[in-house]
Amino acid sequence: MNLLAGPARMASVLPAEPGAQTMTLLEAARALLATGSLCDACLGRPVADRSFGLTNEERGRALRTGVALADDEPYADPDADCWVCEGHCARFDAYADRLVDALGETELYTYQVGTRVPPLLEENGRLLREQAGFDPEAGEPLKRELNREVGRRLGATLGAEVDFERPDVQFLLDLDADAVEVRRNSVTVYGRYRKLQRGLPQTEWDAYETSVEEHVAPPFLGAFRATDAVFHGAGREDVDALMLGPGRPFVLELKEPRRRDADLDALAAEATGETVELEGLAFVTHETIARVKGHDATKTYRATVALAESVTEAALDAALADLDGATVDQRTPTRVDHRRADTVRERAVLSVDGALTDDRTAVVDVHGEGGLYIKELMSGDGGRTEPSLAGLLGVDVTVETLDVLDVEGVDEPFLTPAYRRDRDGEPASPPW
Ligand SMILES: [Zn+2]
């Protein structure tokens, strides 16, 4: 027990017998009370590491009572003015009410309270310990007591749970500025989208009238009463490529939301139209944004290719078998900006499959490592990509359409139980 340098020194001159520790504590209490007028919380705080399960106010009241009994003096309630906290410890309830008022119409499951304590009060805490002969860090700081006591009252009023990592709502009680701040952390919704129309960028782009984001966001903004929605796609896609199959993963980040729960299936249905379809929506943790935006994705493309000469099914199958699992060397494609350095990079073809639709046209599905250039894998890009379908067939190959069938995390799917944030029951909300 790191009790108090002062009383510990006093203990050394006391007889080592049963009851010595009690004497030490009473000496400590007398030393604290001798510094001036103290409230019970400030009297108890320097011994906050003793006896789990008490508030500092209870500790302080017990010390005050103990001193009165030991000295057989009349018990005196603490004075109204406490020189250490200057009355802040009498206002825990009022501060909790103030935070509830500042929250206004907002739903939440979890919260956290932080406090900014004026430097003068922190200095008072050090002076108290110094004058009473305590270790300067003895017990706990005022800030921690405020966070806990105001937080406990707030939680009870709201019916919400404390979360020290990423709460739905972060409160700041700024005693220095006599102000409160409320930060509503984003709601993050994971899902997959299919894009059924060419010429549609993923996010807003001047040259285009609309985007996937603009098709998706509106019903979510309304349902969560958010100020803004940010669309995070798993990789960018060609404006002219369709996104088919199970769709491309995305996270929609809803900023400063006042609602935290909604029927995601209903929202998916509302956002789904002829151009964009949504499915597989789930609430996820905030880290999912970084995972989805990270480059650890693999992609599956469907290319429709034109063959310059007639090719047999057997020749196509043999060429695709050679590409299946191949490591491909790709020099920077000729179609890519000439200012980019001409480098060779290695990318894996994880799997490939395809069939002729007639003797001059084939459909090829390629599941490749992120960054694999598909058009060049088909055409060979004049020998700059090796191996390639054109090289293996000995026939010129041109990509006519290129669509994305699937995007997925390399090491694990984006949506796993660890990243899901299932909503348990109705969110709490202040009475409004
Ligand atoms: Zn006080």
3-class DSSP assignment, residue 232 = strand
Please give the pLDDT value at position 337: 66
Q: CA 347 to CA 341: how far, in whole Å? A: 17
Residue 101 Cα, ligand 1 centroid: separation in angstroms? 25
Q: Which two tokens stand for residue 253?
A: 């980040």
More confident residue, 25 or 341: 25
pTM of the model: 0.73
**DSSP one-letter code for 354:** E
Q: CA 280 to CA 291: how far, in whole Å? A: 17
**187-293: which CATH number, 3.40.50.10490, 3.30.70.2510, 3.40.50.1820, 3.40.50.920?**
3.30.70.2510
301-311 per-position pLDDT tens digit: 999 999 999 99
User: Distance from CA of residue 147 to its chain's centroid?
Assistant: 22
Count CB neighbours of 290 within 10 A: 10
CB 300 within 8 A of CB 406: yes
Beta strands in 19-88 (DSSP E): none
More confident residue, 14 or 322: 322
Place of tokens 């020189």: 83
Residue 398 Cα, ligand 1 centroid: separation in angstroms? 80
Determine what percent of the chain is predicted with pLDDT higher than 90: 62
Domain limits of the chain? 5-184, 187-293, 297-408
Residue 84 Cα, ligand 1 centroid: separation in angstroms? 5
Q: CA 254 to CA 148: how far, in whole Å? A: 29
Place of tokens 């060609």: 238
CB 260 within 8 A of CB 141: no
Residue 99 Cα, ligand 1 centroid: separation in angstroms? 21
Residue 145 Cα, ligand 1 centroid: separation in angstroms? 11
Residue 11 Cα, ligand 1 centroid: separation in angstroms? 27
Residue 146 Cα, ligand 1 centroid: separation in angstroms? 11
**DSSP one-letter code for 179:** E
- Find, among 389, 256, 236, the residue nearest to 311 by Cα: 389
Count CB neighbours of 74 within 10 A: 6
More confident residue, 38 or 12: 38
**297-408: which CATH number, 3.60.140.10, 3.30.70.3190, 3.40.50.300, 3.30.360.10?**
3.30.70.3190
pLDDT-wise least confident of 88-102, 166-180, 296-310, 412-426 = 412-426
Please give the pLDDT value at position 13: 32
Residue 81 Cα, ligand 1 centroid: separation in angstroms? 8
Confidence of residue 393 (pLDDT cuts 50, 70, 90): very high
Tell me the CA distances in angstroms from 357 to 306, 314, 364, one per residue in order: 10, 13, 10
Please give the pLDDT value at position 256: 96
135, 174, 238, 322: which one is catalytic? 238
**5-184: which CATH number, 1.10.287.610, 3.30.70.100, 3.30.2300.10, 3.50.40.10?**
3.30.2300.10
- Helix H segments across 237-312? 264-271, 287-293
Confidence of residue 9 (pLDDT cuts 50, 70, 90): very low
Please give the pLDDT value at position 31: 92
Residue 174 Cα, ligand 1 centroid: separation in angstroms? 17
Determine what percent of the chain is predicted with pLDDT higher than 70: 92
Q: Which two tokens stand for residue 5?
A: 């340098």
Please give the pLDDT value at position 7: 44
Q: What mean pLDDT value characterizes the chain?
A: 88
214-262 per-position pLDDT tens digit: 999 999 999 999 999 999 988 777 888 888 888 889 999 999 999 999 9
Q: CA 190 to CA 279: how far, in whole Å? A: 9
Please give the pLDDT value at position 321: 95
260-281 per-position pLDDT tens digit: 999 999 999 999 999 999 999 9
Q: What angle do CA 106, 220, 160 make, to 5 degrees?
A: 30
Confidence of residue 12 (pLDDT cuts 50, 70, 90): very low
- Find, among 204, 198, 269, the residue nearest to 233 by Cα: 204
Residue 83 Cα, ligand 1 centroid: separation in angstroms? 7
Q: CA 432 to CA 429: how far, in whole Å? A: 8
Q: Which two tokens stand for residue 53?
A: 């399960």
| Phi, psi of 233, rounded to the nearest 5 degrees | -90, 155
Confidence of residue 412 (pLDDT cuts 50, 70, 90): low
Residue 422 a catalytic site member = no
Please give the pLDDT value at position 11: 37
- Find, among 393, 375, 369, the residue nearest to 384 by Cα: 375
Q: At what angle do helices 20-33 and 56-71 cross, to 10 degrees?
A: 100
- Find, among 142, 153, 159, 144, the residue nearest to 88 by Cα: 142
Please give the pLDDT value at position 429: 80
CB 147 within 8 A of CB 153: no
Q: CA 62 to CA 330: how far, in whole Å? A: 77
Please give the pLDDT value at position 411: 59
94-109 per-position pLDDT tens digit: 999 999 999 988 999 9
Please give the pLDDT value at position 19: 46
Please give the pLDDT value at position 424: 72
Q: Do the first three CATH levels of 187-293 and 297-408 match, i.e. the same topology?
A: yes
Confidence of residue 399 (pLDDT cuts 50, 70, 90): very high
pLDDT-wise least confident of 108-122, 137-151, 166-180, 397-411 = 397-411
**Length of the chain, in residues:** 432
Residue 144 Cα, ligand 1 centroid: separation in angstroms? 14
